[in-house]
Chain A
Amino acid sequence: MSAGLLFLLQRGTAILLAPLVLVHLGVVLYAVRDGLDAAEILARTRGNLFWAGFYGLFVLAVSVHASIGLRAVLAEWTGLRGRAADTAALAVAFLLLLLGMRAVWAVVGAP
């Protein structure tokens, strides 16, 4: 993948993440202030397509954004370049995607 495309993807996901993070923080504040317990939260999220889409997109953006950043950190701090850095970054992207999607499924999926 070209350096320009990686740059575009990273900045693009950053723009996407800005509002997503704000909404996410709002949701956390709302849930905590209203004293909702786990069962009440799950009752609101289970089967809710909006939150499935919201957090699905969130996880996707994080996986892309973080792994591209990590690729640069690896190049600068460990000297890992080229194919090796690409592979490591890709592995991290898939790991984040997997863990994140599992969490999304736990919150919005069927019981």
Chain B
Amino acid sequence: MADAGTADGPVLDVRIWRGTEKGAFVRYEVPARANQTVLDVVTWVQRHREPDLAYRFACRVGVCGSCAMTVNGRPRWTCRTHVKRLPAHRPLVLEPLRNLPRIRDLVCDLEPFFARWERAGGRFVPTATRRDPLPRIAPDSTARRAVDAGIECINCAVCHAACDVLAWRPEYLGPAPLNRAWTLVNDIRHGAREEVLDRTSGDAGCHACHSQASCSEFCPVGLAPTAAIAGLKRASLWRLLGGSRA
């Protein structure tokens, strides 16, 4: 593969954030290729210009959720974002994700993101052992479909970075943990469904969401946390009115 360290021919004008909370954008010229993802661009810079450039990736095919960055002001998974298909924008500006502490360069600390999954009661609580028969769940039941709609989350934190409410209210649980919570509320095998509702219907939970859907707009796998959060709102209302959960 023509991956030379020289930038003859067409080049991309790239600015990459170097530093922690304090830092600056550094300009690089990267050879433009016919077929090139944003992650390819970062990797080229790391291999040919800045061996100590910090960034994260693992699978390179949109499965692991570790490569998310802010690309021209928008949160994106960089391994599946083709430079050519980005809206026209020069230079190409790369920063770490918003709403998370920065560790170095393009890497941010995801601990506050995953801590929210715990706070939302996102850990599965089994109700059966391996010796019990498998529960039967009708694939077309409302609950099962609600689970299906939210189950494919890859924990990339793109939605977390896209959410304005999180920027204003740092205690807000945020879209991904609430999306996870809604799948558990609808999972009849989960042993703490009421507790999930308790944990997610407080002031920092589903009722803080504005339903403005930035999370759903940017989720790279096409989930709709906004819809899941609306489900949690409904369920918490039904419970308040003395009914059963949704």
A contact residues vs B (CB 8 Å cutoff): 2-8, 72, 75-77, 81
B237 in contact (CB, < 8 A): yes
Chain A's nearest CB lies how many Å from the CB of B231?
A: 14
13 contacts between A and B (CB under 8 A): A3-B201, A3-B203, A3-B205, A3-B208, A4-B207, A4-B237, A4-B239, A6-B207, A7-B207, A7-B236, A8-B241, A72-B208, A75-B168
The majority secondary structure among interface residues of chain B is helix
Q: Which residues of B contact A8 (CB under 8 A)?
A: 237, 240-241
> In the complex the two chains form, is A76's CB within 8 Å of B207's CB?
no
CA distance A3 to B206 in the complex (A): 9
CA distance A3 to B233 in the complex (A): 10
Chain B's nearest CB lies how many Å from the CB of A2?
A: 8
CA distance A7 to B239 in the complex (A): 13
CA distance A5 to B201 in the complex (A): 10
Chain B's nearest CB lies how many Å from the CB of A60?
A: 21
The residue of chain B having its C-beta at the shortest distance from the C-beta of A7 within the complex is B207
Flag B192-208 by CB within 8 Å of A: 1 or 0 each. 00000000011101011
The residue of chain B having its C-beta at the shortest distance from the C-beta of A85 within the complex is B203
Q: Which residues of B contact A3 (CB under 8 A)?
A: 201-203, 205, 207-208
> In the complex the two chains form, is A7's CB within 8 Å of B169's CB?
no
The residue of chain B having its C-beta at the shortest distance from the C-beta of A77 within the complex is B168
> In the complex the two chains form, is A4's CB within 8 Å of B240's CB?
yes
> In the complex the two chains form, is B203's CB within 8 Å of A76's CB?
no
CA distance A77 to B171 in the complex (A): 14
Q: Which residues of A contact B227 (CB under 8 A)?
A: none
B165 in contact (CB, < 8 A): yes
Interface hits, B189-246 → A, CB 8 Å: 201-203, 205, 207-208, 233, 236-237, 239-241
Chain B's nearest CB lies how many Å from the CB of A76?
A: 4
> In the complex the two chains form, is A76's CB within 8 Å of B168's CB?
yes
> In the complex the two chains form, is B237's CB within 8 Å of A76's CB?
no
CA distance A3 to B202 in the complex (A): 5
Q: 10 new A-B pairs (CB below 8 Å) besides A3-B203, A4-B236?
A: A3-B202, A3-B205, A4-B207, A4-B237, A5-B240, A7-B207, A7-B233, A7-B237, A8-B241, A72-B208
Q: Which residues of A contact B171 (CB under 8 A)?
A: 81
Q: Which residues of A contact B165 (CB under 8 A)?
A: 76
Chain B's nearest CB lies how many Å from the CB of A72?
A: 7
Chain A's nearest CB lies how many Å from the CB of B47?
A: 43
Minimum-distance CB pairs A-B, first 8:
A76-B168, A3-B207, A3-B203, A4-B236, A7-B207, A4-B240, A4-B201, A3-B202
The residue of chain A having its C-beta at the shortest distance from the C-beta of B240 within the complex is A4
CA distance A5 to B241 in the complex (A): 9
Chain B's nearest CB lies how many Å from the CB of A83?
A: 12
> In the complex the two chains form, is A75's CB within 8 Å of B205's CB?
no
